[in-house]
Amino acid sequence: MPQAFSKIPKISYDGPSSRKDLSFKQYNPDELVEGKTMKDHFRFSVTYWHTFRGQLSDMFGVGTAVRPWEDGSNSVGMAQKRARVAFEFMEKLGVPYYAFHDRDVAPEGRNLKESNRNLDSVVKVLKQEQKRTGIKLLWGTACLFAHPRYVHGASTSCNADAFAYAAAQVKKAMEVTHELGGEGYVFWGGREGYSTLLNTNLKREMDHLAAFLHMAVDYKKKIGFKGQFYIEPKPKEPTKHQYDSDAAACLNFLREYDLLKHFKLNLETNHATLAGHTMQHELEVAIAADALGSIDANMGDILLGWDTDQFPTDIYLAAQVMLSILRMGGFTTGGTNFDAKVRRESFEPEDLFHGHIAGMDTFARGLKIAAAIRKDGRIGDFLKQRYASWDSGIGEKIEKRKVGFKELETYALKLGEVRTNKSGRQEWLESLFNQFV
């Protein structure tokens, strides 16, 4: 075993008044909330790409990350060692899941065959480590955006060869996800969009994206992979416009191409805000279509207009997210995946623990707040009352489609004027919410 974190204790729950830095103050995995353990509510997951591959560089400066276990090479041997370090980290942190892109875990080779062979060599170690620790794969995915061959996109490339190569790469990534017992597979369209419409046939590219996803559905059946497929919306970055721009656009795309029954959404907070939405909006849109599968937990910075992927530390936001998730009935195949990276200034290995502890404690607080709001019942009752006119009388007749414009005209003529509107009570509701935070 590499012993990369020998000075770090196993992170355990120490209670809200603890002064021990490397401990949970809120996240108590076995504590029951609404009859379910916190561990099962969240199904927390560590992302391989940020936590074990992130160099902490930005567009103005080189990476600052200090990772003593790295030997500076991009060899298969280093990838295997890194996999063991990753499991040591996850074990100490006490998370039940992780997620990866194919190229995070193993280096790209000189050709596809070599890349696949590299991947197999590391998957062998991942499998051993999963077995040793009981940590499972929440979802796998393929990196279809970093290599220059995907300069114009992968399945939406203007070049059919790039489509073919991407298909082969996803085929292999699905196979290894299946082999590792992954509970899902994510499609995030990194470069599936455009930089200018002057060089883009939008309709043709979207048709190709749909064809690609149909091929993935077919192959999933062929290999007997039972995990859930997810689309992860994001409006832009690196492209100016990404086709999977937000939850509504994804749902529309999936419906138009007859794919909705095969996919759910993996929603990410910072992607929601880049799209000009709140995370709660995105969650509610997905839940309304029975299509919320999983979340990438992070947050952005209101003063920085890009995907900063910060660890989620906003308790108010976490409470809103957990309210929606509790109302939905919780995750089944999905979970709370920290698609988040420590800041460039937080370059020591210990910071990886602090980032995750902060995120897990924030979500635990959010869950407790959301459960308390639900138990109190006043916000829920208000919402129910607000729509009471639809439970009987003319509202019920409209919902049941028993009346049309003609009958409604007769009703409105008799009504004279609408005199039954009541206050929306936004300020009262916000104040009430705050009583639980």
Residue 296 sits in the site that holds ligand XUL (CB under 6 A) = yes
For Co ion, which is the closer residue by CB, 29 or 355? 355
Residue 282 sits in the site that holds ligand XUL (CB under 6 A) = no
Residues 6+ apart with CB under 8 A from 377: none
- Which option in Co ion, ligand XUL, none does residue 291 bind, with CB closer than 5 to 8 A by kind? none
Residues 6+ apart with CB under 8 A from 116: 109, 172
Residue 339 sits in the site that holds Co ion (CB under 5 A) = yes
Residue 192 sits in the site that holds Co ion (CB under 5 A) = no
For Co ion, which is the closer residue by CB, 150 or 187? 187
CB of 250 to Co ion, least distance (A): 14
184-187/263-268 β-pairing: unpaired
41, 50, 102, 104: which is the annotated catalytic residue? 104
* Residue 244, CA atoms < 13 Å, CB-side half-sphere: 26
Q: Which stretch binds Co ion (CB under 5 A): 53-61, 94-102, 288-296, 396-404?
A: 288-296
Residue 4 sits in the site that holds ligand XUL (CB under 6 A) = no
Picking from 237, 148, 147, 126, the residue whose alpha carbon sits closest to that of residue 192 is 237
Catalytic, 354? Answer no
277-285 contacts at long range (C-beta below 8 A, 24 or more positions apart): 277/246, 277/247, 278/320, 279/317, 279/320, 279/321, 280/320, 280/321, 280/323, 280/324, 282/233, 282/246, 282/247, 283/321, 283/324, 283/325, 283/328, 284/324, 285/246, 285/247, 285/248, 285/251
Cα separation, 158 vs 168, in Å, equals 17
41, 50, 101, 208: which is the annotated catalytic residue? 101
CB of 318 to Co ion, least distance (A): 17
Among 296, 297, 349, 360, binds Co ion (CB under 5 A): 296
Residue 264 sits in the site that holds ligand XUL (CB under 6 A) = no
Comparing every residue's Cβ against ligand XUL, the nearest one is: 188
For ligand XUL, which is the closer residue by CB, 188 or 243? 188
x/- site string to Co ion, residues 245 to 284, per CB under 5 A?
Answer: -----------------------x----------------
Strand-pairing partners, residue 136, are 97
Picking from 227, 229, 267, the residue whose alpha carbon sits closest to that of residue 248 is 267
Q: Is the N-terminal amide bond of 349 cis, ω within 30° of 0? A: no
How is 373-424 classified by DSSP, letter by letter? HHHH-HHHHHHHHHTGGGSSHHHHHHHTT---HHHHHHHHHHH-S-------
For Co ion, which is the closer residue by CB, 129 or 296? 296
Catalytic, 309? Answer no
Residue 102 sits in the site that holds ligand XUL (CB under 6 A) = no
Residue 53 sits in the site that holds ligand XUL (CB under 6 A) = no
Strand-pairing partners, residue 47, are 99
Distance of CA 239 to the CA centre of its chain: 19
x/- site string to ligand XUL, residues 314 to 353, per CB under 6 A?
Answer: -------------------------x--------------
For ligand XUL, which is the closer residue by CB, 88 or 339? 339
Residues annotated as catalytic are 101, 104
Residues that bind Co ion (CB under 5 A): 268, 296, 339
Binding site for ligand XUL (CB under 6 A): 49, 101, 141, 186, 188, 232, 234, 268, 296, 307, 339
